[in-house]
Amino acid sequence: MYIYISLMKKKLINISFFIFLSIVISPQVIKADDLFDLGKKIFLEKGNCTTCHTLNDANSYGNVGPNLDEIKPDITRILLAVTNGIGVMPSYEGELSKAEIIAVATYVAQITN
């Protein structure tokens, strides 16, 4: 039981859960277009990603973090950064729901790649 709980706490498990969700469940529950639109909304509003990042599609020109059009992050990289935080960038765990994190990662990955 203890081993199970400590395993569950590992971020790695969380991330596999995200990937599982985004690949297996989300496309069936939410239409791809809806996920994309929701992701854009979160990028602009609730997530405040525009404060720090440049992303042309979002008319966003923040320069605290890397230019997302330039680094073209894949979805795993975005999920990790948003979930755990990286450097100055805060973790969004608790701030955004898992579904919202998947949505914003889907949006950024699709629009930059």
CB of 64 to ligand HEC, least distance (A): 5
CB of 101 to ligand HEC, least distance (A): 8
**CA 8 – CA 72 distance, rounded (Å):** 30
CA distances from 28 to 25, 39, 91, 112 (A): 6, 17, 28, 24
Residue 87 makes contact with ligand HEC by CB under 6 A = yes
Select 7 or 12, whichever has its Cβ closest to ligand HEC: 12
Of 30 and 67, which has the nearer Cβ to ligand HEC? Answer: 67
Phi-psi region of 94 (alpha: psi -120 to 50; beta: other; left: phi over 0): left
Site for ligand HEC in 92-111 (CB under 6 A): 92, 104, 108
Binding segment for ligand HEC (CB under 6 A), chosen from 1-9, 20-28, 29-37, 47-55, is 47-55
E-assigned strand segments in the chain = 54-55, 60-61
